[in-house]
Amino acid sequence: MESVLFWILSVVAVASAVLTVSRSNPLASALSLTVCLVAVAGLFATLSAHFLFIIQLLVYAGAVMVLVIYVIMLLNLKEREMKALGLSGPRVFVSSLVAVFVVALLARAQSGSGGFDPVSPVLDGSARRVAEIIFTSYVYPFEVVSILLLAAVVGVVVLGMKKF
C-alpha cells in the first residue's frame, strides 16, 4: 500500500517537475510546479512527516504559488518573449548532469556505510514531536524567526510601496 502510493506520488512529482522546466509558458510551468509540490507533500505524508505535509500544502502549494502566479501576471510576457524560456541544448545538458550527480550521490549514500534510514524513529515528523523540539530546544531560534519575518515585512514595504 505505502509503496504503491510512493511510486504514484514519485512519478507524478518527477513528471510535473520535468514539465515545470520544459514548458515555455510560465503559467503552465507554475501549475506544473503546484502539482509537483502537492506530490512531494504526499511523499512527506507517507514518511509520517505530518507537519511538513501540511506546511507544504498551506505555504508552498498555497501561498507561495499564488505569489509566483502574481509575478507571472505582473510581468505579462509576450509570446515572443516566452520562446526563450523553453528547453535548450545547454540547459538540458547542465541540468541532466546535476540530476545524475545528485542521484548517484544519494544512491551511494543509501548503499554505503553509515547511511541514514529515512524512516527511523528519530525522524518522527508528527506535529507534536516537531512542536516539542521547536518550543523547547529551539525556542530561541524560533523567536529569531519572528525577527526575520519582521525584517522581511519592513523590506517588502520599502521596496514595494508606491510612495515610499
Partner 1 sequence: MNPYIPLLAVVAVAFILPVVLLAMSSMLGPKRDEAAKGDPYECGVPQLTPPRDHFPVKYYLVAVLFLLFDVEAVFLYPWAVVYRRLGILGLVEMAVFLTVLFLGLVYVWKRGALEWD
Partner 2 sequence: MNPPLVTGDMLRAAIPFILLAAGGTVVSLAGAWRSKRGALFAALFLVLAFWKLFPLLDLEKGIELWDGAVVADRMSAFLGGMLLLSGLFALIVSPPVLRREGRNRAEYYGLILFSLSGMVLFVSTTNLLVLFLALELMSIPLYVLSGYNRGDDRSGEAALKYFLLGSFSSAILLYGAALLFGATGTINMAAMTGGDPLLATAGAFLVLTGFLFKMAAVPFHMWAPDVYDGAPTPITSFMATSVKIATFGALLRIFSLAGGAANPFAHILTGENAAKILPWLAVMTMTLGNVCALTQTNIKRMLAYSSIAHAGYLLLGLIPGSGAVDAKGILYYLFAYLLMTTGAFTVVIALSTRDKGREVTGVERYAGIGFRRPFLGIAMAVFLFSLAGIPPTAGFFGKYLLFSGAVHRGLTPLVVVAVLNSALSVYYYLRPVVVFYMRDTDTPVRVDDALSLRVASLAAVVLLIWFGCLPNIGSLPGVPALLHWVGSAAAALP
Interface mask (CB under 8 A) for partner 2, residues 89-128, using x and -? Answer: ----------------x--xx--xxxxx-----x------
145 binds partner 2 (CB under 8 A): yes
Largest CA distance in the chain: 59
- 163 binds partner 2, rule: CB under 8 A: no
Of the candidates 68, 39, 47, the one whose C-alpha atom is nearest the C-alpha of residue 120 is 47
| Partner from partner 2, partner 1, none binding residue 137, C-beta < 5-8 Å depending on class | partner 2
* Shortest distance (Å) from residue 140 CB to partner 2: 4
Q: Pick from 11, 52, 18, 53: which is nearest to 33 by CA?
A: 18
> From the CB of 32, what's the least distance to partner 1, in Å?
17
**Using CA atoms, how far apart are residues 129 and 81, in angstroms rounded to an integer?**
48
Q: Can you give the binding site for partner 2, defined by CB under 8 A?
A: 105, 108-109, 112-116, 122, 132, 135-141, 144-145, 147-148, 150-152, 154-155, 157-159, 164
